[in-house]
Amino acid sequence: MIEIFSGLQKKFPENFTSHQGLSESQQQILARSKLYSIASDIMLWLTIFETQNSSLNVAKSRPSLWRETGRFSWCSRLWGLDPNRVESIRMNGYANLSDIGRVSDPAAHGFAADRQQDGPGALQLWENTMITIKGIIPGEDYANWLAPLRFVAEIDKAIVIAAKDQFTLDRIEGDYARRLQQVWERMDPKGRRLKFNLWSRLSSEVRDMVRNPWAIADAPDSDTTAADATSTTALAQGALTFKNLMVGDSNRRAVGLGRRLAAGDPIPAGIVVIYGQPGTGKTHILKALEYAVSQTSGSRRMAYLSAEEFMTRFVDGARAGDTRELQAFVKNNELLLIDDLHWIAGKAKTDKAFFGAIRSVTAEGGHVVITADTAPGDMVGLSKQLSSEIKGAAAVEVGTPDDEMRREIIRCHAGIISETTPNFILSEQMIDRIVTAIQGPGRELCGVLWSLQLETGYGEFAPTMDMLEAVIRRIAGEPRTPTLDDIKRACMQQFNVSKADIESSSKMRSICHPRQIAMYLSRTMTDKSYPQIASAYKKQDHTTVLHAYRKISSALKSENAETTRDVEAAQRSIFQRMAVRET
């Protein structure tokens, strides 16, 4: 308001003599005369004209804005607005607001050229709020939930922030709204509140005026293009998509199924179960499916939530005596994505509600995609009805990645880290060390890289083997040595041979080859002598063990693909057996 009153003072000094020395707030209180009423209108219109796209501040409804066209014409002349364009706006609505411009020389109309603003606008305050909140919450949470939010407008003294889908809105209101409001209150001197809403629920008048805040402008200037590109890159780095999902033999079928669902290709099965050990990338596939569907034009109705969240919301609704909101949110979808089904095992009432939800989706021709830790036939704690429904699903396993895929996972995530930490470069020796030391799934490999980045001071130093060894000790613990029995039984399981077979003298390759690998690993993974190993396999002569060790060593040195694959598989089986035993 400062610029308006100073301009009016110069234009009509006689109207201001009685108010000299009053503060801005006092002047606003006294704004009852026609002149002050005009000043108020000027502020309203100037605010609208100086904002663009999603930064419009709608202080009044359309009818009240156009009610006093004559007064607006006076304001337009005062501020150098083109009256013909003003009339066009009055007749055609808000669609052409961006076409209205002010004269380039405000001084020609009696205003100071260097006038100051009251402070940053609502859009700038929101951007400052987002910058602040980004430093408070984890980066992945910010990218997944907060970054997609969009500033819409100021309506009835509330700042409207839009979410693109219902699930994002629910997560914001449940987990982040209070924190955002607290940061906003420290930023906004006017004490306005934040109001979160679903974009599709806003009035058509507001949506037509603001247009789609997620759309890219048709002809942005170079600065805007660069900013948008940076924002998109940052979001892509935090998002779980098919582009940053490593694909190998262990997950190829599951990823292919996810892509078919995202593309809308026909799949006869109404329910799909993606199962595998924790950390193998099941959630990544589910989130990538969600992201791919959300990016398609004419997006299908879709909801994503974990089984834990379903259970929590159902319990909260049951306590309140009304679960209709949850049921409506889950059922009215063409694609329902449920993560970690095991959370509802043993919860009878939640089980029943979940069964009804998936039945309602599939009955309308929709699809339900579920992730679980075990295969449908091995799930426990589910009702007979739900268990039967799950067993009738199309099930696909996500296995643990082989060593080559694990190396690719490390290279991929090291490359992502190097975008913000340029000297984060791993040698092949370091990659091999991580693969050998960390036998867990891809999640644990990423944990090593994030910890190593921290160890380097986020770019202050380049990573070294000493740093890596320190990280590995923290994550994997001190090196543990398997027993000879661990190695023998793991190889029996891996190659499907019996104890009698592996201890026999059979020369059949299906028995001899697993036995030689077991003897080789017994020598390389323990400190036992050849005679001790021979005794463990019921051999009287240690030369049998020596022969096995030399044969497998020679095959590995000559890069025999089959032997290399079998040895790596046996090693993974040994470490998995040790992990199970320790838990």
Report which of 367, 394, 393, 397 is spatially closest to residue 382, judged by C-alpha positions.
Answer: 393
Same domain, yes or no: 344 and 408: no
Q: Are residues 306 and 323 in the same domain?
A: yes
- In this structure, are residues 303 and 333 in contact, taking their beta carbons and an 8 Å threshold? yes
In-domain check, residue 435: yes
Q: What is the CATH number of the domain that holds 367?
A: 3.40.50.300
- The crossing angle, in degrees rounded to 10, of helices 484-495 and 561-582 is 120
Q: In whole numbers, what is the pLDDT of the chain averaged over residues?
A: 76
Task: Please give the structure tokens belonging to residue 131.
Answer: 């910058």
Coil vs helix vs strand at 62: helix
CA triple 77-81-84, angle to 5 deg: 95
Q: Give the per-residue pLDDT at 325.
A: 77
> Does position 376 have pLDDT exceeding 50, yes or no?
yes
pLDDT bracket for residue 260 (50, 70, 90): very high
| Same domain as 555, residue 515 | yes
Instruction: Look at residues 382, 397, 412 and tell me which one is the last residue of a structural domain.
Output: 397
Which of the listed residues 446, 476, 506 is the one where a domain comes to its end? 476
Q: What is the CATH number of the domain that holds 570?
A: 1.10.1750.10
Point out the least confidently predicted range of 19-23, 234-238, 424-428, 460-464. Answer: 234-238
Q: Are residues 389 and 411 in the same domain?
A: no
Residue 235 is predicted with a pLDDT of 38
CA-closest candidate to residue 353, choices 377, 375, 335, 327: 327
pLDDT of residue 32 exceeding 60: no
What is the pLDDT at residue 3?
52
Average of per-residue pLDDT across 461-483: 84
Distance CA 566, CA 576 (A): 15
The span from the CA of 183 to the CA of 172, in Å, is: 14
Asked if 92 and 18 sit in the same domain, the reply is yes
What whole-number distance in Å separates Cα of residue 3 and Cα of residue 113? Answer: 10
How deeply is 517 buried, as exposed, middle or buried, from its count of CB atoms within 10 A (0-12, 13-18, 19+)?
buried
Range of the domain at 24: 2-109
Instruction: Verify that 168 and 154 share a domain, yes or no.
Output: yes
Same structural domain, 80 and 191: no
> Are 515 and 498 within one domain?
yes
* Average pLDDT over every residue of 136-164: 85
For residues 148 and 204, membership in a common domain is answered with: yes
Look at 333 and 204; give whichever has higher pLDDT.
333
SS (H, E, C) 506-564: CCCHHHHHHHHHHHHHHHHCCCCCHHHHHHHCCCCCCHHHHHHHHHHHHHHHCCCHHHH
| Structural domain includes residue 30 | yes
464 is a domain residue: yes
State how far the Cα of 172 lies from the Cα of 166, in Å rounded to an integer. Answer: 10
Distance between CA atoms of residues 336 and 367, nearest Å: 6
> How many other C-beta atoms lie within 10 A of the C-beta of residue 218?
5
In the predicted model, is pLDDT for residue 278 greater than 80? yes
Confidence of residue 302 (pLDDT cuts 50, 70, 90): confident
Helix 348-363 with 324-331: angle, nearest 10 deg: 40
Q: Which of 155-164, 362-371, 490-499 has the lowest mean pLDDT?
A: 155-164
Radius of gyration from C-alpha coordinates of the chain: 33
Q: What is the CATH number of the domain that holds 176?
A: 3.30.300.180
What is the distance of C-alpha 167 from the center of its chain?
13
Residue 555's pLDDT band, with cuts at 50, 70 and 90, is very high
Task: Kindly state the average pLDDT of the residues 196-213.
Answer: 76
246 in any annotated domain: no
Least confident range from 202-206, 333-337, 370-374, 541-545: namely 202-206
Residue 332: what pLDDT?
75
The answer to whether residue 218 is domain-embedded is no
Q: Which residue has the higher pLDDT, 8 or 268?
A: 268
Is residue 209 pLDDT above 90, yes or no? Answer: no
What confidence category does residue 22 fall into, taking pLDDT thresholds of 50, 70 and 90? very low
131 and 99 share one domain:
no
Q: Do residue 156 and residue 286 come from a single domain?
A: no
Residue 78 clears pLDDT 60, i.e. is over it: no
Tracing tokens 């019921």 back to the chain, one arrives at 538
Identify whether the C-beta of residue 469 lies closer than 8 Å to the C-beta of residue 475: no
Q: What are φ and ψ of residue 305, in 5° steps?
A: -160, 155
Handedness of CA 245, 446, 309, 237 (dihedral sign): negative
Task: Tell me whether residue 56 is in a domain.
Answer: yes
Element spanning 255, H or E? helix 252-263
199 has a pLDDT exceeding 60: yes
Q: Are residues 257 and 313 in the same domain?
A: yes
Is 353 part of any domain?
yes
515 pLDDT above the threshold of 90: yes
pLDDT tier at 35, thresholds 50, 70, 90: very low
Quickly state the pLDDT bin for 438 (edges 50, 70, 90): confident
DSSP 201: G
Structure tokens at 415: 């490359």
* Confidence check: pLDDT of 271 > 90: yes
Higher pLDDT, 213 or 101: 213
Rounded distance between C-alpha atoms, residue 97 and residue 49, angstroms: 7
Query: 203, 233, 263 — which closes off a domain?
Result: 233
Q: How many domains does the chain have?
A: 5
Task: Give the model's confidence band at 575: pLDDT under 50 very low, under 70 low, under 90 confident, else very high.
Answer: confident
Highest mean pLDDT: which range of 105-109, 162-166, 297-301, 404-408: 404-408
**pLDDT tens-place string over residues 177-187:** 988 998 898 88
Give the pLDDT band of residue 66 (cuts 50, 70, 90): very low
- How many residues would you count in the chain? 583
Closest CA to 351 of 315, 391, 397, 324: 315
Q: Give residue 92's pLDDT.
A: 39
Residues 190-198 have a mean pLDDT of 89
> Is 358 part of any domain?
yes
Question: In 93-221, which ranges are continuous DSSP H helix?
Answer: 122-134, 139-141, 166-171, 177-187, 204-210
Q: So what's the pLDDT on residue 328?
A: 77
Terminus-to-terminus CA distance in the chain, angstroms?
68
